[in-house]
Structure 1
Amino acid sequence: MTTDPIADYLTRIRNAIIAKHRIVEIPASKMKTQLTEVLQEKGYIRGYKIDANLNSVQPTIKIALKYDLFTKESAIVKLKRVSKPGLRKYVAVAAMPSVINGLGIAILSTSKGIMTDKEARKMNVGGEVLCYVY
């Protein structure tokens, strides 16, 4: 069992991108599913499917990674974990981070659910900065 499931989630995606895999399987949880939904909404992945396998106890998320047709480069250049179990990073609306001057996204866990930094500013809520994606 991992102590930081979100870091494990990001590392599995990062490793799949380096290996040029089209699909990556990750053990499912509610937070990982919400993170995957945000990545799909913002166009960083093609899609996902939650697979409840009868042989295993925990369902898995199958994520279809997105690559450029001509250059074969991934849509995700970098995934960076910000808030860690040993040191949580919380931000208010006024101190909301901007990733590469708005070209990337910061994913936050707020009282209204998991959302991007732009959505959190619009809804006027702060929260825990989970990761940066660009």
Structure 2
Amino acid sequence: MRHDLLADVFSAMKNAENSGKKEVIVGSSNLVANILNLLKEKGYIDGYEVLMMNNYAKYKIKLKGRINELKVVKPRLSFKKRNLIKYKSRYLPGKNVGYLIISTPKKGITTDRDIEGQEGGIIIGYIY
């Protein structure tokens, strides 16, 4: 029984990258689709397609080999813009290396570099 689909997807992607595979099949949800679109936009994956297997949708992700670390942050931490530097230094290895994957009320799923103004949100995970 799965408790966290997003954590399962992230670990499957990281394990496939480490073993040198070019594709991986994972479960689907709206949150996973939004994060995969973000990863494609940032250049970490080539893309994904939807497969129907036994009346369940699955995603077939085409990997590029650029992922060094990909993890979910648990518990999901809420933050304000002024506290974002603390979380960047905690989860990312250096300045301008990688992204925090965050959910904001105005923009939905985005990265730490794309938020504007005094907007806050919830940290979902990180990638570098």
Instruction: Give the TM-score band, short-chain normalised.
Output: 0.7 to 0.9
Structure 1 Cα separation of the partners of residues 119 and 30 of structure 2: 21
Long gaps (5+) in structure 2: none
The CA deviation at 1:110 is 1.7
Name the SS of the counterpart of 2:26 in structure 1.
Answer: strand
Amino acid paired to 1:47:
G
Which of 77, 82, 85 is the equivalent residue of 2:68?
77
- Aligned residue for 1:104? 98
Structure 2 Cα separation of the partners of residues 124 and 41 of structure 1: 24
**8 A Cα contact 2:44 2:67, kept in partner:** yes
Structure 1 Cα separation of the partners of residues 71 and 83 of structure 2: 19
The CA deviation at 1:88 is 2.8
Percent of aligned pairs with the same amino acid: 32
**8 A Cα contact 2:5 2:27, kept in partner:** no
Which of 82, 107, 112 is the equivalent residue of 1:94?
82
**8 A Cα contact 2:70 2:127, kept in partner:** yes
Q: Please report the TM-score for the alignment, with normalisation by the length of structure 2.
A: 0.86
- Aligned residue for 2:62? 64
Q: Report the count of equivalent residues.
A: 121
Name the SS of the counterpart of 1:125 in structure 2.
Answer: coil
